[in-house]
Amino acid sequence: MSIWLKNATVFDGKAFMEGTRHLVVEGGQIAHLGAEAPEGFEGQTLDLEGKWLCPGFWDLHTHLREPGQEWREDLTSGSLAGAAGGYTTLVAMPNTDPPVDCPSAVSYVARKGRELPGARVLPAGCVSKERKGEELAELLKMAEEGAVLFTDDGAPVRSSGLLRLALRYLDGTGLAVMEHSEDRSLFGKGQVHEGVISAVSGLAGVPSSCEVLGVQRGIELLREVGGCLHFTHLSAARSLELIRAAKAEGLSVTCDVTPHHLTFSEEDVMASGYDGYFKVNPPLRSVRDREALWGGIEDGTVDAIGTDHAPWHADEKDLPFQEASFGIASLECAAAGVLDGAARRGVAAEKVLAALTRAPRCILGRGGDDLLAVGAEADLTVVDPDRVEKVNPRLWRSKAKHSPWSGVVLKGWPVLTLLGDRVLWRASEEQ
């Protein structure tokens, strides 16, 4: 395939280039990038005037439910959903049934992940066998089969001793442990943030300290034994203060936040009438916490934006709030949600785009420089910053046809995803 993407405003992973650029893809690689148009080009031409051409969006945290829970989502439907949301690469969480906790399970996800019709899928492996937090899984053997990070996500690594051992074991490999930060003794039967909403509703609250203590645990262990530690879906202002200090100390710590924690707060849960589609772990917290997350995007404390896309069957979410499952589906509107939120707050688009492109690659050790160099794989996402659409989950490629964004009008949408020699997805010209 040969394709000329002309007159684009190019974001290179760090900043927008001056003026407009022309990029040519041939044989799955970038063959030309410059201010001058290519000479003698023969192939498909797309005029991107007014649109942003970026390295492909990567999602560090996606629940695709395969193996074992394919009625909720599977690798194929998740791959198509990711491509439609602007993502070229998804990291599949291992809390499946059975969990991805051994080399053969990693091999299955890795092999299938290379053959999907939409976004490429990379496997994460469990830290512990069966995610029980008792015995270390075969981390390096899973890495040989393609595991790109290790996590017991859905829960923290239960034992501090095991988390310490995993960090020590992986020290020097460049492979990260992704930690779901939670003190389970403080979570209890929690349903919502412990604050205004728990006081008003009477629902059991989850205090911010539930997350903060988990962050403190991880940082102390990292300081002691080394390794790379990534905290996922942080939600509390105090958590970011700890991350900020750990980075200043020089520790190898990174973190991500989710589109839903950047968009919604406990006030939205109340305004929805306690709609189960807003139920998530960690819970949607205070407005102050939400705005602190945006502050972390602006000052670089937050490295990446991970969707934590959690697809459930409608029967598992369309329930009274106390009975609904935790988790929010968002792959197909996540990038638009954060781009819209950034524009409303005056946050530079470069900050969001870097968190969607360069940062995830750096965390996975997949390089963060020269992403658009001639000769590099064509891994590209195009965004139309002026495109306005209403979120309609009924039209999603995901099997999860529900979301708290349903009916919300967003401005700034991915319109093209391209990987290698394939156009994974292209938006309709109609808006």
Strand partners for 422: 419
Give me the catalytic one of 256, 308, 340, 384: 308
* Dihedrals phi, psi of 189, to nearest 5 degrees: -105, 30
pLDDT digit string, tens, across residues 179-226: 999 999 999 999 999 999 999 999 999 999 999 999 999 999 999 999
Local confidence band at 39 (pLDDT 50, 70, 90 cut-offs):
confident
Cα distance between residue 113 and residue 296, in whole Å: 32
SS3 190: coil
* Interval 31-49 mean pLDDT: 93
Residue 295 parent element (H or E): helix 287-299
pLDDT for position 409: 98
Local confidence band at 430 (pLDDT 50, 70, 90 cut-offs):
low
pLDDT digit string, tens, across residues 306-345: 999 999 999 999 999 999 999 999 999 999 999 999 999 9
Q: Per-residue b/e over 153-165, b at no fewer than 16 CB within 10 Å?
A: bbbbbbbeebbbb
Cα distance between residue 189 and residue 209, in whole Å: 15
Residue position matching structure tokens 């992973």: 13
Angle at 112 between CA 111 and CA 115, to 5 degrees: 100
| Beta strand ranges found along 300-363 (DSSP E) | 304-305
* Dihedrals phi, psi of 119, to nearest 5 degrees: -60, 145
Cα distance between residue 215 and residue 404, in whole Å: 27
Q: Per-residue b/e over 3-13, b at no fewer than 16 CB within 10 Å?
A: bbbbbbbbbbb
Local confidence band at 121 (pLDDT 50, 70, 90 cut-offs):
very high
* Interval 248-277 mean pLDDT: 98
Angle at 113 between CA 151 and CA 79, to 5 degrees: 95
**Annotated catalytic residue 308:** yes
* Interval 221-234 mean pLDDT: 98
Answer yes or no: is pLDDT of 279 > 70: yes
Answer yes or no: is pLDDT of 431 > 90: no
Percent of the chain with pLDDT strictly greater than 70: 100
pLDDT digit string, tens, across residues 132-177: 999 999 999 999 999 999 999 999 999 999 999 999 999 999 999 9
DSSP state, residue 93:
P
pLDDT for position 1: 78
SS3 384: strand
pLDDT digit string, tens, across residues 79-89: 999 999 999 99
Contact 124, 148 (CB under 8 A): yes
Residue 227: partners with Cβ closer than 8 Å, 6 or more residues away: 166, 167, 168, 170, 171, 176, 177, 252
Residue 197 parent element (H or E): helix 196-201
Question: How far lies 99's CA from each of 52, 137, 326, in Å?
Answer: 38, 11, 18
Dihedral, CA of residue 226, residue 227, residue 232 and residue 235, to nearest 10: 10
Cα distance between residue 260 and residue 330, in whole Å: 8
SS3 251: coil
Answer yes or no: is pLDDT of 91 > 90: yes
pLDDT for position 258: 98
| Average pLDDT of every residue of the chain | 97
Cis upstream peptide for 67 (omega within 30°): yes
Cα distance between residue 369 and residue 411, in whole Å: 29
Local confidence band at 40 (pLDDT 50, 70, 90 cut-offs):
confident
SS3 177: strand
Provide the 10 A C-beta neighbour count for residue 252: 16
Residue 294: partners with Cβ closer than 8 Å, 6 or more residues away: 262, 341, 342, 345, 347
pTM score, whole prediction: 0.97
pLDDT digit string, tens, across residues 336-380: 999 999 999 999 999 999 999 999 999 999 988 899 999 999 999
Provide the 10 A C-beta neighbour count for residue 31: 18
